[in-house]
Amino acid sequence: MRLWEKWMIAVALAGLIAGLGAQELVRSVMVHGQALPLYPQVTKQPSGLPSPCRTDDGRELVTARTRDGEWALVDVTVPDWNKEEVKYFGENVLRADSADFPTLARSGLHAMEELGMCRAISGRPLAEINELARPGRLSTAGFLAEDEDVLSVLRGDDRLARKLGFTHPQLARPLLHMWNVILQEQKHGRGVWGRGHAWKHVDHFLYNGRRITYEAHFTKGGQLSPFGDGIEGAVHVFLRRDLDPVEAEFLAQRYGALGPERLEALQRSLSALTTGELQPFYIVRYGFYEGHTAWRVDPLAIASIFGLRSLEELEKTFPGKLEETLRTHFTAAD
Within a domain: residue 117? no
pLDDT of residue 217: 84
List Cα–Cα distances, 100 to 39, 84, 218, in angstroms: 39, 20, 32
Task: Note whether residue 10 is domain-resident.
Answer: no
Question: Domain of 282?
Answer: 165-327
| pLDDT tens sequence across 31-80 | 999 999 999 999 999 999 999 999 999 999 999 999 999 999 999 999 87
pLDDT given at position 90:
62
- The tally of domains found in the chain comes to 1
Give helix 168-188 / helix 150-164 axis angle, nearest 10°.
Answer: 100
- Alpha carbon distance 188, 287 (integer Å): 32
**Average pLDDT for runs of 10 along the chain of length 334:** 41 42 64 94 95 96 95 92 66 85 97 96 97 93 95 98 98 95 83 65 95 86 87 88 97 97 97 93 96 96 98 98 97 75
What is the distance between the alpha carbons of residues 23 and 32, in angstroms, rounded to a whole number? 20
Q: What is the 3-state secondary structure (H, E, C) of 213-254?
A: EEEEEEEEEEEECCCCCCCEEEEEEEEECCCCHHHHHHHHHH
- The distance from CA 152 to its chain's CA centroid, rounded to whole angstroms, is 21
Query: Smallest Cα–Cα separation from 108: which of 169, 67, 62, 156?
Result: 169
Domain assignment present for 296: yes
Q: What was the pLDDT predicted at 11?
A: 44
Q: What is the pLDDT of residue 21?
A: 42
Look at residue 243 in the predicted model and tell me its pLDDT.
96
Is 88 within a domain?
A: no
> In this predicted model, what pLDDT tens digit does every residue of 187-232 receive, in sequence order?
887 766 666 566 678 999 999 999 999 988 877 668 899 999 888 8
> 240-271: string of b/e by CB count within 10 Å (b at 16+)?
bbebeeebeebbeebbeeeeeeebeebbebbb
| Cβ neighbours around 80 below 10 Å, total | 10
Alpha carbon distance 51, 308 (integer Å): 12
User: Is residue 211 included in any domain, yes or no?
Assistant: yes
- Provide the H-helix boundaries in 79-167: 102-107, 112-117, 126-132, 150-164
Residue 24 confidence (pLDDT): 45
Of the candidates 299, 173, 276, 257, the one whose C-alpha atom is nearest the C-alpha of residue 219 is: 276
- Closest-CA residue to 307 (of 211, 208, 171): 208
Predicted local distance difference test score (pLDDT) of residue 3: 43
Q: How far is 74 from 280, CA to CA, in rounded Å?
A: 19
Q: What is the pTM of this model?
A: 0.89
240 and 205 Cβ atoms separated by less than 8 Å: no
Note whether residue 41 is domain-resident.
no
Q: 129 in a domain, yes or no? A: no
39 within domain boundaries: no
